[in-house]
Amino acid sequence: MRRAIRGLGVGLAVALAHAAGPAGAQPAGANYDEAKVPAYTLPDPLRFADGTPVRDAGDWTNRRRAEVARLFETHVYGRSPAPPAAVRSVVVESDPRALGGLATRRQLRVLLDGTDSGPGFEILLYLPNAASRPVPAFLGLNFGGNHTVHPDPGIRLSTAWMREGPGVTDHRATEAGRGAAAASWPVERILDRGYALATVYYGDLEPDRADGWKDGVRSRIGPGTAGRFAPDDWGAIAAWAWGLSRALDALAKGPDVDGRRVAVIGHSRLGKTALWAGAQDERFAMVVSNDSGEGGAALARRRFGETTEAITTAFPHWFCSRYREYAGREDALPVDQHLLLALVAPRPLYVASATEDLWADPRGEFLAARAAEPVYRLLGGEGLGVDEMPVPDRPVGKAIGYHLRRGVHALTAYDWEQYLDFADRHLRSPRP
């Protein structure tokens, strides 16, 4: 449980108690011994599936990139539908003097089929009043509802399903949850640094449980409306990632946020989600994976900490159903997670780990970032700029940032400081 507690938001600790076992303990059967990591060979980013080499940037950009993305769709996350034609968003609340005048707060409702009664979700947006618009922004899903990111009484409570826990009664948000996840969302600091923050409750898109699709976007849009999913149809991570792209559509249309300078960020399962969103949707100008672990930034073939078997058993709904076929057969997967990171190239990518978060395999996250470097170099950039994993609390990186924070599985103020510094280096001027 210890890894779950800090700053994760209401409800999640309960989920983790089931999934990750008790305080700092090694879940039964999990390997936490570097000496027991098997020998493995990673798929070569610079070789097509048919074995021919990727010779230049054009080969990657025009053909190999699409091939890799397709492999992740087919074997890991599933295929997502196109954006609905009728989608539109409306501003449901706005306060130009929020947080004591520091910010303009806007709340938008994205109506996925264009109607009030259809599927949709809410975006909470804080804009720094001191910065000229349009501003660069961080966009991320949250675990417990928009009202948990800050005690601000003006934030609307989600009416969607939530896991039972503090601040939740009968699976619905209550006033008591306000600000419960504030430690993970240093809103004032983000605004002071000149960035907007946009966030969406992931359960607005789909409740995080095995049958959650019945109450989420997957039952209203795409193949689930016919009641049946093929082995490569979208899972919950893909649905949440799809929601991030729909949020970006809405933000980019408005006058406040610079759609060419939006960083997508997420922690843990939502870090996996941020990676899949950023990998597919090249409009995201920067991608941040915080402690995303298995199915995120960590290499599956290392079988260190969480494994494909563990994750597809505890969370069968996160991936497309075909992914489960690779439980215990990671070497048969045509991809590994370094290729997911490579899909972000040449855009700035930040991968972060925490020393006590062994379940997420910090070294596997670093090695995946390193194994994505050839693609960054091919596209004319620099990756990490180091070969060895850095010591704790020593951020490194060029176009790929990395740090190993001392501490537990969490998104902390320290992590945010690194992302803000990284964004200052990469997002300050608009992309051409």
- Environment class of 169 (CB within 10 Å of its CB; exposed 0-12, middle 13-18, buried 19+): exposed
Does residue number 19 form part of the binding site for ligand GTR (CB under 6 A)? yes
Backbone CA torsion sign across 46, 49, 52, 54: negative
- Give yes or no for a contact between 343 and 65, defined as CB atoms under 8 angstroms apart: yes
- Of 120, 212, 222, 293, which lies in the binding site for ligand GTR, with binding defined by CB under 6 A? 293
- Look at the block and give the residue holding tokens 């039964």: 28
Q: How far is CA 405 from CA 13, 306, 349, 393, 410, in A?
A: 20, 19, 17, 5, 10
Nearer to ligand GTR, 193 or 269 (CB): 269
Min CB(165)–ligand GTR separation in Å? 13
Could you give the string, one character per residue 252-281, with x where binding to ligand GTR holds by CB under 6 A and - elsewhere? ----------------xx------------
Calpha distance 212→231 (Å, rounded): 17
Nearer to ligand GTR, 5 or 252 (CB): 5
Can you state the percent helix, strand and coil of the chain, rounding each to 5?
Answer: 35, 20, 45
131: amino acid identity, one letter: A
- Of 311, 342, 349, 396, which lies in the binding site for ligand GTR, with binding defined by CB under 6 A? 311
Calpha distance 158→174 (Å, rounded): 9
Min CB(421)–ligand GTR separation in Å? 25
| Token pair of 342 as six digits | 């490579």
Min CB(341)–ligand GTR separation in Å? 17
- Of 122, 206, 232, 306, which lies in the binding site for ligand GTR, with binding defined by CB under 6 A? 306
Min CB(346)–ligand GTR separation in Å? 27
- Alpha carbon dihedral 125, 130, 134, 137, in 10-degree steps, equals -50
Q: How far is CA 230 from CA 73, 244, 285, in A?
A: 12, 23, 32
Nearer to ligand GTR, 19 or 386 (CB): 19
Q: Among 239, 234, 241, 243, which Cα is nearest to 321's?
A: 234
Nearer to ligand GTR, 30 or 372 (CB): 30
Q: Considering only 52-60, 182-190, 306-314, 422-430, which stretch makes contact with ligand GTR by CB under 6 A?
A: 306-314
Does residue number 327 form part of the binding site for ligand GTR (CB under 6 A)? no
The catalytic site residues sit at 268, 409
**Phi, then psi, of 425 in degrees rounded to 5:** -75, -30
Q: Which residues is 275 bridged to in the sheet?
A: none
Min CB(149)–ligand GTR separation in Å? 16
Nearer to ligand GTR, 12 or 124 (CB): 12
Q: Considering only 11-19, 73-81, 101-109, 374-382, which stretch makes contact with ligand GTR by CB under 6 A?
A: 11-19
Calpha distance 180→201 (Å, rounded): 13
Calpha distance 287→264 (Å, rounded): 5
- Of 204, 294, 330, 373, which lies in the binding site for ligand GTR, with binding defined by CB under 6 A? 294
Does residue number 235 form part of the binding site for ligand GTR (CB under 6 A)? no
Nearer to ligand GTR, 126 or 234 (CB): 234
Size of the site for ligand GTR (CB under 6 A): 11
- Of 7, 9, 13, 16, which lies in the binding site for ligand GTR, with binding defined by CB under 6 A? 16
Binding site for ligand GTR (CB under 6 A): 12, 16, 19-20, 268-269, 293-294, 306, 311, 314
